[in-house]
Chain A
């Protein structure tokens, strides 16, 4: 795991750094404890996307500079704080607007006319997994683990993860991940077709750079057309997932699930219980 960006920053916040080297952008996430996606990360992702010049770059590598992993998912503390403050008349609208912003960011990354490569190590859970699934190609370091633990909180993934996972792998695999909440290791993720390369710990960046350098030799129109053809946005399913997420989020079980997680001092919060 390489903690530093590989070139001078084009854009930088406390959550991430965007850099550009030889036509390849790098989006380095570095918001402790594990790049949780809340308002701050969302602002940063929007800012970074605004600064990507697709006429200059040919690719984007998304990775984490934190030892803890790629991304642990949504910022549950922020969600719990918002929900615990009480549900007034505008609660649903505010939640829906927040979710729309996240979907817009995920959709923008998904459809970038660049080759996007996610480099994953250790934790790739929930919203972090959903972010990884926006990438065209995933490279997993040997210690990567993928999971959708949302059902433990009484919800489903809500950042577009289910349609994107279904776009890439078989429905039985999707159900296994969702219904059990278990983690897949890197080899299992490759076996089911989610990950294209498994590399030793610390080798992900090198592998991603080699990949982006290779694809940069090909005609831009061919690359972009190929991606658009093979990776359509599952618009209807994304909307359906969002609706289910919003409905479930109003259940009391969610408040209780979030409270348990936020207040937990257990050393095993990331293992099923």
Chain B
């Protein structure tokens, strides 16, 4: 286990899940967790279990739908997919996140450029 792995930032997991579902289509919890780990290049320390409360939160808001299906190992598993409002929400969340990231970037930029 690498020591420099970052914890998942509060609130970012939701967007990661939504983004994953957007690009991958319907997926079960394990798939989503693995995909996030892979995309982040194993730089995130993700307790895979935390994906489930996040999925539930998104489902309660109506951004994600779920249905039971069969996994690759031929076992019953719950598959999650984006709903219509969820799709719209991605744009909004992305914009929010970019704005925050940009603000942070300005703060973290070399002080010479920030002074004028």
Judge: A and B partners, yes or no: no
